[in-house]
Every structure is written in structure tokens, then in C-alpha cells.
Amino acid sequence: MSAQLEAPYEPPIYSAGNRPQSTFAFGLPTKVIAYGAGFFAVSFAVLIFVHVVVGLALMGVGALILTPLVIAPNGRTLYETGQLRMQWMRRKHIDKSTEYHAGPHSRIPGGRYKLPGLLARTKVYMGIDRHGNEFGMIHNPDDHRYTVVFDALPGGDEAIVQRDKDLYTADWGVYLADLGLPGDIVGAVVVV
């Protein structure tokens, strides 16, 4: 008789913050491999039909152009990072749209603390809860509604087993159900 060996049960572990990647050959993104194959095909054709030195030079230029696509700190290629930095610098120096000043130093007449854009008709009230945490309350006089804004700092980086994930989801469901009991709360929204 042969005994069956079972592998010990390992629960699935979930974590946040990992960006999914589609990789192809050598662990490089598919986009880099496609561009590299195109550069190689063109430069190889130039190498065969035009001149060897020109073909090799074109391969070197292609390698220099593709290198920033391979280097991707924080999940963005160097081209994407450079584009975002140029957009930020343009907005910062040309039209200063990256700055928002509220209160007495603002461009709003009366120097009140107002929210930007479509929320300019609303009023903002600040408060402190019993644990000493600040929260904001936005009053919309048109609809006679209030919005409470508070900050929650979940861990998010820890690995969580399925049992704990199910428990957190159930607790969130109970919280939302309790919010709906009085009948005067229109909705609850989580913004990450």
C-alpha cells in the first residue's frame, strides 16, 4: 500500500501596492521587445543592404533610445517620468495652476476658505473628534446636505490571509448597514 502525501495547506496571501506587469522575453515588457525587434529589423536591413558601419551605428542609436523604456523606477519608464516632470514644471512656472491658496491670502474676494471649482458654493467646517483627529464637514446649502470627510490610514502593506480579508469585508458591510438605519444618510463613499 502506498500512502498519499498531502502538501500542507497554505492560505492565499493578499497584499496591496503591486502593479501588474505583462512581461515577455528576458523579463522585459512587451512594448520594449516590440520596439527592439523593429529597431533590430530596420538596422539589420541597413547593415545588409547599405553599409555595415551605418547598420551598427543604427543599432547603437536604437539601444540608446530603448534604454529609458527598460529603466522603470516606481513603475513608470524614464520617458513617462520625464513627461510628467515637464508638464509639472510648465504648469508651475507658466500659469501657476499647481498652487491653491485659501483664506486671507487667496484671490477669492472676502478671503474665506472655499473649496475650488464646482464646490465653491459650499462652506467648509473643520472639527476634531473625540480621539483628537481632524475632520471636515462640507455644507451644500443648495441641497441642504452635509458631507463629512475624514482620513483613515490603513496599513495596506501587510500581507493578509483570506480569513482576515473576509472578516474586514464583513465588518465594512455591518458599518454600511448601520449607516443606513436612521434613514437620513444619503450615501457613503470611499475614495482611495
C-alpha cell at 177: 448597514
* CA torsion, ordered 75, 34, 38, 77, to nearest 10 deg: 0
* pLDDT tens-place string over residues 37-75: 999 999 999 999 999 999 999 999 999 988 888 888 877
What contacts 149, CB < 8 A, 6 or more positions away?
135, 136, 137, 138
pTM comes to: 0.41
pLDDT in tens, 129-177: 888 888 888 888 888 888 888 877 666 666 778 888 888 888 888 888 8
